[in-house]
A and B are shown apart, each in its own frame.
Chain A
Amino acid sequence: GAVVSQHPSRVICKSGTSVKIECRSLDFQATTMFWYRQFPKQSLMLMATSNEGSKATYEQGVEKDKFLINHASLTLSTLTVTSAHPEDSSFYICSAKTSGGSTDTQYFGPGTRLTVL
């Protein structure tokens, strides 16, 4: 149980284009999903918290107009990197959390490697 998928696993795009990354909870409903960014050999940095049916909460320094997050259903959140540039190249990881009870654990997707040429 508690499986989270991400699609695509890898994407290469040209500078100036937009890229959408999907995060799905496969066997549970996720009221909250989180988007992280991980640079090579570094830790995970939280970008934003996504709650189903409401606007995402972005961490300080993260441009909300550049990293658009939509949590359209209890099993799907999307991250769109708009007008991507080479400095946006990174590993993006989502996680999902169930609601209620002692559900304090986040389950992570396998990540998406974005390369912007």
Chain B
Amino acid sequence: AQTVTQSQPEMSVQEAETVTLSCTYDTSESDYYLFWYKQPPSRQMILVIRQEAYKQQNATENRFSVNFQKAAKSFSLKISDSQLGDAAMYFCAYRSSDFGNEKLTFGTGTRLTIIP
């Protein structure tokens, strides 16, 4: 079974600075998807960024980018120019590419605090 590990329960960053959230995973599959989701106090899960394992290029979405290291099974999220609205729980998630096995396996989350 796949597992996702987020080793940082809490992180904080000064507004406008850059922060990196860590995620590692364990799988025997060669093709899969990885995601970062954000859960603000409203509890609404919001997709931040996604990465296909077969793509070597790291995904980028505006201020959010990932460092995907397939061999190391590492998938970190970098948030640049942090804003107060970035404060939330961040969950890393794994999904198999197998048709019919589409469930997401989540890490335990990292609570990100933005310091004004």
Contacts and interface: CB of A to CB of B under 8 A. Distances in A.
Interface string A79-114: 000000000000101010100000011111011000
Nearest to A51: B100
Interface residues of A, number: 21
Interface residues of B, number: 22
Nearest to B103: A46
Contacts of B35: 105
Given A32-B102, A42-B108, A44-B106, A107 B95 contact: no
- Summarize B's interface: helix, strand, loop or mixed: strand
Contacts of A110: 42-44
A18 B12 CA distance: 42
A77 interface: no
Nearest to A91: B43
The interface residues of chain A, by DSSP majority, are classed as: strand
Interface of B: 33, 35, 37, 42-47, 50, 52, 91, 95, 97, 102-109
Given A34-B104, A97-B102, A105-B50, A44 B91 contact: yes
Contacts, number: 49
A43 B103 contact: no
Contacts of A25: none
6 contacts: A32-B102, A34-B104, A104-B52, A105-B35, A110-B43, A111-B43
Interface in A22-41: 32, 34, 38
Contact of B47 (A91, A105, A111): A105
| 3 closest Cβ pairs, A-B complex | A108-B45, A43-B106, A111-B43
Contact of B103 (A49, A108, A111): A49
Interface of A: 32, 34, 38, 42-46, 49, 59, 91, 93, 95, 97, 104-108, 110-111
Nearest to A48: B103
B108 A108 contact: no
Given A43-B91, A43-B107, A93 B102 contact: no
